[in-house]
Amino acid sequence: MKSKFLVIYEKEMLQFFKSRLWFMTLIFPLVITITLGYVFTGTLQNVPIVVIGEDNSSINYLKEYLNNSFNVIYNYNITNALDGISSGKYVAAIIAEYPSNFTIIIDYTEQGVAQIVEQTLSVVLMRTYSGNVSIYVERKYKPDHNLINVLPSLLPITIMFVGMFMMSHTFIREKEHKTLQNLLVSPISRRDIVLGKILSGITRSVIVSSIMILIVLLLGIKPNFNWGILFLLILVSSFVGTGFGALLGVLFDDEDTLDMFNGMLMFPLMFFSGAFYSIYMMPSALQLFSKFDFLFYAVHGFKAILLKNAGWELVIADILVLIGIGISFFIITIGVLMVRRYE
Render pLDDT for 191-219 as a digit per residue (tens, 0 to 9). 888 999 999 999 999 999 999 888 888 88
Mean pLDDT of the chain: 81
Phi, psi of 135 (to 5 degrees): -125, 125
The domains located in the chain, with CATH, are 47-140 (3.40.1710.10), 146-339 (no CATH)
pLDDT at 289 over 60: yes
What is the pLDDT averaged over residues 96-125? Answer: 80
Phi, psi of 220 (to 5 degrees): 90, 10
What is the pLDDT averaged over residues 14-43? Answer: 65
- What gap in Å lies between CA 19 and CA 74, rounded to an integer? 56
pLDDT at 68 over 70: no
- What gap in Å lies between CA 305 and CA 234, rounded to an integer? 11
pLDDT at 124 over 90: no
Q: What's the pLDDT band for 156 if we cut at 50, 70, 90?
A: very high
- pLDDT number for residue 65: 66
Asked which of 25-39, 70-84, 129-143, 229-243 is least confident by mean pLDDT, the reply is: 25-39
Terminal Cα-to-Cα distance of the chain (whole angstroms):
37
Render pLDDT for 306-341 as a digit per residue (tens, 0 to 9). 888 888 888 999 999 999 999 999 999 999 888 877
pLDDT over 70 percentage in the chain: 81
Buried/exposed 304-315: b ≥16 CB within 10 Å, e otherwise: bbbbbebeeebb
Residue 182: CB atoms within 10 A of its CB come to 10
- What gap in Å lies between CA 36 and CA 289, rounded to an integer? 15
Q: What is the DSSP letter of 277?
A: S
- pLDDT number for residue 37: 65
- pLDDT number for residue 57: 57
